[in-house]
Amino acid sequence: MSSNFNLTREQFDNVMVPNYAPSKVIPVRGEGSRVWDQQGKEFIDFAGGIAVNCLGHAHPALVNALKTQGEKLWHLANVMTNEPALELATRLTYSTFAEKVYFANSGAEANEAALKLARRYALEKHGEDKDQIIAFERAFHGRTFFTVSVGGQAAYSDGFGPKPQAITHLPFNDIEALEKEISDKTCAIMLEPLQGEGGIIDADPAFLAAVRRLADKHNALVIFDEVQTGVGRTGELFAYMSTEIVPDILTSAKALGGGFPIAAMLTTTEIAKHLKIGTHGSTYGGNPLACAIGNAVLETVNNKETLEGVKHREQMFRDGLEKINAKYDVFSEVRGKGLLIGGVLNSKYEGRAKEFLVAAMEEGVMSLVAGANVVRFTPSLVIPEADIVEGLARYERAIAKVVAG
């Protein structure tokens, strides 16, 4: 069915709330790691919808899952369950520490559920004085008022009236600060094992060990926000699997649906029992269409070939970026894990990450930023090696243009 409307970038300004400022490019078709816009220009996708399109665009397994389930059931209220939701929950519990799963539609919703569960658990187990949530500077946990307040970037939560209380932000990877702040009033410590929006900053192993030790000492829960790091992004099914600790609650979204909205909160039976009937819910959470696609994603991602392939592709990116940097000297370091990679701009280009993103689009490659000083890459986990080579060649041309001024 065709539209008679004028579907241009200018129409966005006419009909959309102005909280976004999208580029002039309007993609209309994607296949694998290639995307084409309205004018037929081709792009190589190193952005992946911000770590969402973990299998690229129009992956056959996901298209087949959508078509097959689309001819069965689209939606049921949660007064009933459905087979795709049961299958996906079973896959997640079989593959992780978790014993129980709650489904939602976005990372913010999964994190909202995790935070509410932590507060309810503490209230019922230890009393109303145990309500402090410790989170970390530069963290990002979503855009609901609770999650954006827990996120460590005040600019996102300021200007909306009184914020949720009993939330403390500490420097990331600072064991001493955590030791000084945590107490028996702390109900949860929430963190990303690898900060994404905050600049691609990995959690130190010693810091993670301290988080687990101190949480146990003070009867607090550890919440891992794996919305961006989960479902193969770091070369493990979930990033916690490459650490020495196990969280009490884990959240997942983004790649879990490969582009279809779905999220999950994972936890143990003992903790989960505190979300009794009526304490929380979601109209679309556990939707059969979303869960059918989630099952196809996990089946495709959670295997040795795909996960080892992520690590191989990571090395290709690192080698390619280091080679580019040897020519143009724009990065102080390349950091991250798996296919969540950040190039930290050096002092000569500080604050200019957006310029590199814009130049890259002009050269036919989609990329990201993580703040003003870090360029970010989150491509498909199965991006063809040839697309990495070609995409980096295009990105090098973009860097050359920025450097030349």
In 70-126 the beta strands, taken as DSSP E runs, fall at 100-104
Whose tokens are 């550890």? That residue is 222
Residue 248 among the catalytic residues: no
Question: Interhelix angle for 60-70 vs 288-301, to 10°?
Answer: 150
Q: Specify the 3-state DSSP secondary structure of 89.
A: helix
Give how far Cα 273 sits from Cα of 74, 104, 279, Å.
29, 18, 11
Please check if 124 is assigned to a binding site. Answer: no
User: What DSSP designation does 193 have?
Assistant: S
Please check if 283 is assigned to a binding site: yes
Are 265 and 102 spatial neighbours (Cβ–Cβ below 8 Å)? yes
**Out of 103, 254, 260, 331, which one is annotated catalytic?**
254
Instruction: Write out the two tokens for 157.
Output: 């939560």
The active-site residue out of 45, 202, 225, 248 is 225
Answer yes or no: is 107 a known binding residue.
Answer: yes
Strand pairing class (365-366; 263-267): unpaired
In this structure, are strands 132-136 and 186-191 parallel, antiparallel, or unpaired?
parallel
Please compute, for residue 401, the number of CA atoms within 13 A of its CA located in the half-sphere on the CB side. Answer: 15
Question: For this structure, is 329 an active site residue?
Answer: no
Backbone dihedral angles phi then psi of residue 292, each to the nearest 5 degrees: -60, -40
Considering the candidates 43, 46, 103, 140, report the single residue annotated as catalytic.
Answer: 140
Please indicate whether residue 13 is annotated as part of the active site. Answer: no
Residue 401: partners with Cβ closer than 8 Å, 6 or more residues away: 359, 362, 363
Q: Is 227 among the annotated ligand-binding positions?
A: yes
C-alpha–C-alpha distance, residues 83 and 93, integer Å: 15
DSSP 18: T
Of 273, 265, 248, 274, which Cα lies nearest the Cα of 123? 274
Whole-angstrom CA distances from 369 to 84, 97, 313 are: 35, 32, 20
Annotated binding site for N(2)-acetyl-L-ornithine: 143, 282
Annotated binding site: 107-108, 140, 143, 225-228, 282-283
Active site residues: 140, 225, 254
Annotated binding site for pyridoxal 5'-phosphate: 107-108, 140, 225-228, 283
